Amino acid sequence: MPVRPRTCTELYRAFRQNKKLAGKSVRTLQFYDEKVKPFSEWFDARGYKFTEINEAHVDEFMSIHDERNISKNTVNVYGRGIRAMLYFAHRRDWLSRIIEVTMPKFKTELPDYPSLPEVRAKLIEACVTNRTRNIARDKFLISLMLDSGLRKSEIVALNWRDLEWIETCDGYECGLVHVRNGKGDKSRSQYSPEKPWSFYNLIENYLKVRNLMNLSLSPSEAAG
């Protein structure tokens, strides 16, 4: 049975250690250090007793950040982290009840985004007008990012062996991209693209200038 923490800072250490043992990524742990640890230190510095923590304490801490012209979204991030730690304490029976964390409300107005075909056309046009050294490669990688939703770092880490074609139960073919060490250091398989035949053509055009099937999909300009 874990030792009951005496302070909020000790609670944070137990919370962080639990997340680390659960396999959370380094970036997630850094998030807790930046957003949750300050609350623990602030709470203890005011002489509050850990067993008496309540919604008023969380609201007081959140209001301090809200008054510092920090965006509502950032304040919301603080709240989510603190809520996770307090829920962890409740599950360990270190707090007698769940502490309700009030998130700031704000209205979000979405801008007018261009459609996916418009984005694709603009990016492909940029490959041609900027006369990049490997237009076929850039067209292929841009289409792969748009159709699969992969992050830039995930695209850069791909190898040819990570891309394969499979036949679905309906008899259609689609691309299957194996992402290794993606977000949170987790691997997954991602289906792509929506129109496989156009994607075939992009790959064939790329292979005309690069026929190295066991190397990176996105080599540097110097490497070709």
Place of tokens 């309540």: 54
| Domains of the chain, CATH where assigned | 8-91 (1.10.150), 116-209 (1.10.443.10)
The half-sphere exposure of 58 on its side-chain side, counting CA atoms within 13 A, is 24
Q: What pLDDT score does 85 carry?
A: 94
Number of other CB atoms surrounding residue 163 within 10 Å: 18
**For residues 150 and 189, what is the distance between their CA atoms, to the nearest angstrom?**
11
pLDDT in tens, the chain (224 residues): 568 899 999 999 999 999 999 999 999 999 999 999 999 999 999 998 888 899 999 888 888 876 666 777 778 888 889 999 999 999 999 998 998 888 766 666 777 888 878 887 888 788 776 665 677 777 777 877 777 778 888 877 777 777 776 665 565 566 677 777 777 777 787 766 555 545 666 666 766 666 544 445 555 544 44
Q: In this predicted structure, what is the pLDDT of residue 107?
A: 66
Q: Are 109 and 96 in contact (CB under 8 A)?
A: no
Helices 72-91 and 8-21 pack at an angle, to 10 degrees, of: 90
